[in-house]
Each structure stands twice: as C-alpha cells, then as structure tokens.
Structure 1
Amino acid sequence: MAAGNGDTVRVHYTGTLSDGSVFDSSADGGPIEFVIGGAAVIPGFEHAVVGMEIGQSKTFTIPSAEAYGERDPRLAQDVPRSQLPPELELFLGMRLTASNGDGREIALVVTSLTDEMARLDANHPLAGEDLTFAIELVGIN
C-alpha cells in the first residue's frame, strides 16, 4: 500500500542544512504524524511521502523557495533598546513575540545587539536555506 492524498502517515526524519548540520530530527522521539494534503508540513515534504510504502526510505532536498522562502531583509529591523521593556535581558538568539496592529503574534529573533540597539528579525529561522531530509515511512492509516 502506497501513501496517498488524505492518508495519515507516520514518518521518521532527519533534516539537514547544506553544510550538513542537523536542524531537526525525530531520532529523540517518535515519528511525526500528519495527513497528506492537510498542510501540516511544508509541501515538498508532503510530496516526497506520496507513493512511498511502509519501510521505504529516501533522501531529498527542498529548495529554500519551496520550503520557508527566501530571507526578506525588510523583516529585520533595528529597534532602540529604550523602546523595549527595561527588565528584558536580551541576548543573541533570544526568541521574542510581538503583536502587530491586528492582534496577531509575530515571532522574532534577536540577531545583533549594541548598547543602544537590538536587531529583531521576523524571518523564519530556516528562510533562505535549502533543506535536505532523510525520511522513513513507518505507518499509513
């Protein structure tokens, strides 16, 4: 039985960047479970699972444009530290959330700091990266 649209599948995976570093893996937990066509994972990942059979493995690369998109320099801004809460102890790599005008939350990462400014980046951390996945299909419902 091959996986197809609408099937609930369970997949073990390891995701790596072009330099070989691992950005995510199911090795320390169970496989991920999702419905093919349900948009729970990036489209290229879903497409790679279609047609696979239980026990089958494959490795594939998703170009950045089809994963989390290219980095958008407009989504990174320098903010005066005086405009941030004084009790906030900022550090590089710190993740923050902010609300936009319509109440939606925006995930931010601190990417540089000076005594006066903090650069806050709203790009997805994997934006601009080609993603390689090694996957094994372990279940189909």
Structure 2
Amino acid sequence: MKKSEKEKGKEKKATESKQQYKLIGIIAVVAVIIICVAAYLFVFNPPLSVAVGDTINVTYTGMFDNKTVFDTNVNSSPLTFTVGSGQLIHGFDAAVVGMKLNEEKTVSIPYMQAYGAYNPDLVGIVPLSQFPANQTLTPGEKLYERSQDGSIAIVTVVNVTNAGVAI
C-alpha cells in the first residue's frame, strides 16, 4: 500500500503546521516569561532616583577647572544630607536630583550656584600670633572656627607672609 503523492503532501503540510504551532507556542511562552520577569523587577525593585527631600550619601571630589582638588571625601565617610534642605550649595543640591544608586556624574557648578563671585573686600589679614606656633598654613587650606553661638565659619588661606595670614 503506497500512499499517493497527494496524501504525502498533506501529511508533510500537517507536520510543518504542527512544527510552526510548536515554535509559535514556545516563542509566546518565552515572551510571557520575559514580560512577567520585567514586571516583577519593576514592581518589586523599581529604578530609584534622587528627589528633593530624600536623604542621601554622596562620595565626591570638588576641583577647580584646572583639575586642582579643593575638597574630597573619597576614602572617608560619605557626605549625608537631605536634598533641597539648604545644607549644601544650590548647584550641588540640583546636580544630584535624578541620579540613581551608584551613578557617577561629573558636573560643573557656576560660582553663582556655589559660593558667589570672589570678593577681594572680604580678604583680611590675621596675625600669625593668632595661630598655634606648630601649625603650618598653606594657600588653599580651609580653616574652621566655631563662634560663640555655635556656628562654624569656614575660611580659605589665601596667602601666608611674615605680616600674617590672608584669609
């Protein structure tokens, strides 16, 4: 009993259709699994970004345009602050908004969003006798002084001469 060519063709078509349906089924199952995994990750592990009011920890390096580092907390404790609270300069506050966990970012903060323009009228000379004899002062160094009301004044050493320290 030989099958006719017509019957062989029908069986071949049926086999090919079954294989196509199997392939479509496998693709559909894989697609559903991918969609479910993506939905699960989004719902239970949403992509977080920094918003005003968040308290965050930041490791930073501050440098001038010529790449001279003026402040950093690398290899020490992260800076912890509440975004938008006014604890830091406006430009830094604004720069972290929208960042994600462990994201690195390089920003250039204009002086008007930092400490303002350099004002030579604010430079004063403090006699060397006002500093401990063993203290070595260098230009660019930050000095911190606590006032009687508990606030802290931060000044920068501009120059050191026999006449005194320009801050």
TM-score with structure 2 length normalisation? 0.53
Matched, 1:27 2:74: yes
Q: Deviations over 1:21-70 (max 9, x none)?
A: 22222221132111011112211111111111212221110012221112
- Superposed CA RMSD: 3.3
* Percent of pairs with identical residues: 33
Q: Which runs of 5+ in 2 are unaligned?
A: 1-47
Q: CA deviation at 1:76?
A: 1.7
Instruction: From the CA coordinates, give the structure whose radius of gyration is larger.
Output: 2
Matched, 1:76 2:123: yes
Runs of 4+ aligned structure 1 residues displaced above 3 Å come to 77-81, 87-99, 104-110
Q: The residue matched to 1:9 in structure 2 has which SS?
A: strand
| Shift in alpha-carbon separation, 1:5–1:71, aligned structure 2, 3 A | same
Greater percentage in strand = 1
One-letter code aligned to 1:59: T
Contact persistence 1:113–1:119 (CA under 8 A): yes
Q: CA deviation at 1:13?
A: 1.5
Separation in 1, partners of 2:119, 2:161: 20
Could you tell me which residue of structure 2 aligns to residue 17 of structure 1? 64
Separation in 1, partners of 2:81, 2:127: 42
Greater percentage in helix = 2
